[in-house]
Amino acid sequence: MSASTLTGPLTAELVSDLTCTSGETLPVIAPFTGAILHELPASSAADVADAYAAARIAQRSWRAVGFAHRRAVLLRAHDLLIERRNELLDILQTESGKTRGQAFEEIFEGASVTRYYAVSARNVLRTRRRRSGIPIVIKTRVSYKPKGVVGVITPWNYPIALSIMDVIPALAAGNGVVQKADNQGALSILASRRAFIDAGVPAALWGIVAGDGAEVGNAVVDGADYVCFTGSTATGTKVGERATSRLVGSSLELGGKNPLIVLDDVDPVTAAKDAVYAVFSSMGQLCVSIERIYVARSVATQFTAALVERVNSLHQGPALDYSTDVGSLTSAAQLARVQAHVDDAVAKGATVLAGGTARPDLGPFFFEPTVLTDVSPDMQCFAHETFGPVVAIAIVDSADEAIAAANATEFGLNASVFSGSVARARRIADLLDAGSVNINEGYRASFSSTDAPMGGMKQSGMGRRNGHEGLLRFVEARTVAEATGILTLPRTGTEWAKMTGLMIVALRVLKGVRRR
List of residues contacting ligand NAD (CB under 6 A): 153-158, 162, 180, 182, 213-214, 217-218, 230-232, 235, 238-239, 253-256, 287, 385, 387, 413, 456, 461
| 288 and 443 Cβ atoms separated by less than 8 Å | yes
Please state the three-class secondary structure of 457-478 as a single string: EECCEECCECHHHHHHCCEEEE
Shortest distance in whole angstroms from residue 230 CB to ligand NAD = 5
Report the catalytic residues. Answer: 253, 287
Please state the three-class secondary structure of 38-88 as a single string: EEEECCCHHHHHHHHHHHHHHHHHHHHHHHHHHHHHHHHHHHHHHHCHHHH
How far is the C-alpha of 91 from the C-alpha of 38, rounded, in Å? 12
Pairing of the two strands 138-146 and 128-130: antiparallel
Residue in 356, 342, 266, 364 with CA at minimum distance from that of residue 311: 356
Kindly tell me which of 107 and 125 has the beta carbon lying closer to ligand NAD.
107
Residue nearest to ligand NAD (CB): 217
Shortest distance in whole angstroms from residue 156 CB to ligand NAD = 5
Kindly tell me which of 109 and 385 has the beta carbon lying closer to ligand NAD.
385
**Torsion angles phi and psi, residue 35, rounded to 5:** -80, 160
Kindly tell me which of 119 and 340 has the beta carbon lying closer to ligand NAD.
340
Sheet containing 138-146, strands listed edge to edge, beginning at the edge strand earlier in sequence:
128-130, 138-146, 475-483
Shortest distance in whole angstroms from residue 257 CB to ligand NAD = 9
**Hey, which residues does 260 pair with through a beta bridge?**
293, 416
Kindly tell me which of 153 and 299 has the beta carbon lying closer to ligand NAD.
153
Kindly tell me which of 182 and 225 has the beta carbon lying closer to ligand NAD.
182
Q: What is the Cα gyration radius of the chain? A: 26
Kindly tell me which of 121 and 208 has the beta carbon lying closer to ligand NAD.
208
**Hey, which residues does 298 pair with through a beta bridge?**
none
C-beta atoms surrounding 86 within 10 Å: 12
**Hey, which residues does 418 pair with through a beta bridge?**
262
How far is the C-alpha of 10 from the C-alpha of 4, rounded, in Å? 11
